[in-house]
Structure 1
Amino acid sequence: MLLLRLRPCLAAVVCLFAAQSSFVALASPIPGVAPEQPWQVKGYVSYLGSMVAPEQGDKLWDGLLHNRIDAEYRWQRVRVNVGLRNRLMAGDTTSLPGYGDLISRDPGYWELSANWLESGDWIGNSQLDRAYLSWQFDDKWELTTGRFRVNWAMSTLWNPNDIFNAYSIYDVDYPERRGVDAIKLSRQLGYASQLELVYSQGDDGLTPVNAERTNRQYAGRYLGHSVLGDDIFGYNLGWDWQLIIGETRDDRVFGGGFAGDLWGAGLRGELSYFDPIDDSGRARLSPELSNSQRLTQTQAQDKMQPQALRASTVATLEMDYSFASEANWRLLGAALYISSPVAVDSALLYLNLPLSARTLSFTTWTYYLDVGFDITPLSRLSSNASYYDDGSFFVGVTYQYSLADDWQLSLIAQRFDGSTASLFGQSASTLGYLQLKWSF
């Protein structure tokens, strides 16, 4: 049944692969010769088949054909980057009322997303999620403007310092993450030290706490590097650290983070304090398409309720260790603390929130564990789990197999569940994904 419904998607994969193979063949350098070129084009084509099986309700089957193209052109001191997402989707979810409007919605200042197909249960969309210019001047200065990702993360899982680009840890088909429309000024101060100032403007349709304020954010970061002793117990302790200060559309933000290596294990942490600009104001949480469990426009508007903001501290600590073995075992553990978590009464709503750095979880404490190893030189198995202190939990398993140098097959299973009174337990569900990806 699913194969019949998704046969057009598979045909599109073959056609797009053939077209782009011809393009790449023409642009590829001669083997053994690597001349310097001022431009670069790369990307991928992937097909993602998904299934959502709630304990109460019907199963949802969907297919997504995803093409990404990243292009860069370089001059001596100027660089232009453009990233384009093309998506063709069909299935049970796409036939829901208002789903096409949610797909085409662009939260940035510029409307760079458009649906080019809306027919029955078929939706086609293209979006420029990267479009920026970088200019280096006076050797130590750089100015970046346009739509790009402001990566202020020190940790690899939860990022309280990432006030511009927070994302869902459960997303399986958008590794690049969304960008923001911003201007960034950077100044190199020395070895591994840097000062950055960022101003970002978003869609004013997203109502901030104070209706008189616009949807903008600005912040500064100081990135430094310190060596805590030349030789402590036979180990050199060199650490990167940062301090941030700024203002989001709702809060004044102060924070910091660090990353280092401790006896072979990576240790990282971040902390941010969010102080509401208007204590009497109320923020409306607006949903975003970040998970296969989707909300329609009507459902989202019905479920969104304004919430009074309180000062909140968000902090995370994580550690990972890679074992020297043929199987390349890797273990990662992390904890997240939020002093004033957002109140959410629906798992479906939470999984579709834009998840700012303030709303990384819905409970005070959240824990995460990930373990992975190579089954063979061409295949890897990893498993992860998260636990929320209301009794909710998530368990996921991912199997990856390298079919060729540029081809990869992934099988993913996810389970959201918990105690009867927990958020995930009230709407337990199982998700399954099959992804075939070709990179060029």
Structure 2
Amino acid sequence: MLKKLVTTIFIVGAACYMIKVKAEIPGLVPESNWDLGGYVKYMATGLVPDHSDNALDHLIHQRFNYEYRFTPSFRFNAGMRNRVLMGDSVSLPYYSQVTEWDAGYFDLSRNIVDNDKVIVNSQFDRLYLDWQGEEWRSRVGRYRINWAMNTIWNPNDLYNAYSIYDFDYEEKSGTDAISISRKLGFASSLDVVYSPSKDSNLQRYSARYLFNLQGWDVQTLLGRSGVDNVIGAGFAGDIKGAGIRGELTWFDPWLKDYQPQTYQQPQAYKQTLVSSVEADYSFGGQRNWLARASVLYISEPQQTFDAATYLTLPLTARTLSFTRYTGYADVSFDLSPLSQFTASASYYQDGSYFVGLSNRYSLAEDWQLLTVVQRFDGSAESLFGKTPSTLLFANIKWSF
């Protein structure tokens, strides 16, 4: 019923939007109390594994972002993505289930069409009410909880961890939660979040204290994240023009053995420290050179059985990597005012490595072309080295 209600809201909103656009008179249009935007993307993906057959997939990805402002301090937001997936991967085992899977308390994802040739999926990843006063703020529904200080690996991100290799989902997933925030002064606040789960073992709740110390943003947090009690901290600042950031979180499992209700293998959980430090520096100049580097440490990494599982299934702040030490670096610069090039690489302690190249090109005001090459490889016994492969992507996007 919830999804039908929100779908009706979207249809009515879209109709009102078209009526409004048609009726606009330049210079006489009052400020609207709602907005509707989004994009449409097409992406072709070529998978070229070293030791098996090549594969070609196609994705049409359409998104709506809707906001309605009841008052200046009270608003409603919804974000809906619709995907059409076609190609060789659609018929793989569990592909359909992974596409439809929704990690939230409410299941807001549906495969409308599901067969060996095409999957059409519709999902709400944003659906919330937000109220903001001078000192207090509250939000309820599905939204993104961003407690990260880092830009690459985020041990403090207890709610919305993501893969650094997933470039096509720029909004990133949301969480079903209730949050209350209180401003305490300059760059200082206290945030409390509760995120329920259908599986009571996986409910999450936590508190964060954010403050500024001599120009550095600092945060501390504690709570429960699924099977773990957690305590963590993070910082972000500047040293001689270089951005320096860091996060660490201690995971102490109150439930040592747990069978997840997903397609992951059962795990034995241990006390684990996850920490990451990163730095970036902008060289500026005509080409706008920017370099980043980061190191991730996990004291007790969880076992990963194959590369496909690690790269496909959702991550948590506990499972950002499968080795104790992991390194990452990238460099980007402008080839022209309309074209940006990025080269990136990561290296894992077991000998696995990743190399990526990408180029963003602005075709027109609302059109963008993205081309990406990704290579996963490594030593013979490493996770990526057991199934080395190259992925090729071409993505064209129209925003409205």
Deviations 1:201-231 (A, max 9, x none): 1342xxxxxxxx432100000111122xxxx
Partner of 1:85: 81
Describe the SS at the equivalent of 2:312.
coil
| 1:359 pairs with 2:334 | no
CA change 1:62–1:286 in 2 (3 A) is farther
Q: What one-letter code is carried by the residue in structure 1 that aligns with 2:169?
A: Y
The answer to whether structure 1 residue 425 and structure 2 residue 400 are counterparts is no
Which of 347, 353, 366 is equivalent to 1:406?
366
Specify whether residues 285 and 426 from structure 1 end up closer, same or farther in structure 2 by C-alpha distance, changes over 3 A only: farther
Task: Look up the equivalent residue of 1:384 and give its one-letter code.
Answer: S
Match of 1:136 in 2: 132
Determine the C-alpha separation between the residues in 1 that align with 2:35 and 2:241. Answer: 36
| 2:5 match | none
Could you tell me which of 250, 271, 295 is aligned with 1:273?
250
Q: Does 2:228 match 1:251?
A: yes
| CA separation of 1:393 and 1:73: change in aligned 2, threshold 3 A | same
* C-alpha contact (below 8 Å) 1:180/1:202 kept by paired residues: no
In structure 2, the partner of 1:344 is 304
Alignment of 1:34-433 (within 5 A): 36-74=31-69, 75-137=71-133, 139-204=134-199, 213-227=200-214, 238-278=215-255, 281-284=256-259, 300=263, 304-433=264-393
Distance change in 2, residues 1:402/1:34 (3 Å):
farther
Aligned to 2:4: none
Kindly provide the CA deviation profile for residues 94-143 of structure 1, in whole angstroms up to 9, marking residues without a partner as x.
12244223222211111111111124411111101000001234x21111
Q: Deviations over 1:355-383 (max 9, x none)?
A: 10001000111000000110111111100
Q: Is the Cα–Cα contact under 8 Å of residues 197 and 221 in structure 1 kept in the other structure?
A: yes
Q: Measured at CA, do residues 353 and 265 of structure 1 come closer, stay the same or move farther in structure 2, by a change above 3 Å?
A: same
* Separation in 2, partners of 1:177, 1:37: 28
Asked if structure 2 preserves the Cα contact closer than 8 Å seen for 1:82 and 1:132, the reply is yes
**Partner SS for 1:108:** coil
Equivalent residue letter for 1:47: Y
1:435 match: 395
Distance 1:403 1:200 in 2: 41
- How far the C-alpha of 1:188 sits from its partner, in A, is 0.7
**Alpha-carbon displacement from aligned partner over 1:133-177 (angstroms, at most 9, x marks no partner):** 01234x211110000011000000000000000000111210111
Relative distance call for 1:197 and 1:424 in structure 2 (3 A) is: same
Q: CA deviation at 1:400?
A: 1.0
SS in 1 for 2:300: coil
Q: State the AA in 2 paired with 1:110.
A: F
Instruction: Please identify, of 22-31 and 360-369, the stretch whose mean Cα deviation from structure 2 is larger.
Output: 22-31
Structure 2 residue runs without a partner (length 5+): 1-13
Kept after mapping to 2: 8 A contact 1:141/1:187? yes
User: 2:201–2:227: 8 Å Cα contact kept in structure 1?
Assistant: no
Code of the residue aligned with 1:217 in structure 2: it is R
Counterpart CA distance in 2 for 1:98 and 1:222 is 41
Q: In 1, are the aligned partners of 2:284 and 2:290 still within 8 Å (CA)?
A: no
Q: Which runs of 5 or more residues in structure 1 are unaligned?
A: 1-18, 205-212, 228-237, 288-299
Deviation at 1:431, TM superposition (A): 0.5
Q: Deviations along 1:223-274, whole A, 9 cap, x unmatched?
A: 11122xxxxxxxxxx1111000010111000001011111111111001000
Q: Identity of paired residues, percent?
A: 49
TM-score w.r.t. the length of structure 2 is 0.92
Measured after TM superposition, the shift of residue 41 of structure 1 is: 1.5
SS at match of 1:106: coil
| Equivalent AA in structure 2 for residue 101 of structure 1 | Q
Instruction: Provide the alpha-carbon RMSD of the alignment.
Output: 2.1
Between structures 1 and 2, the one with greater strand share: 2
Q: In the aligned structure 2, how far is the partner of 1:416 from the partner of 1:26? A: 47
Q: Is the 8 A contact 2:274 2:298 kept in 1?
A: yes
User: Residue type matched to 1:261 in 2?
Assistant: D
Q: Return the TM-score normalized by structure 1.
A: 0.84
Distance in 2, matches of 1:47 and 1:434, equals 8
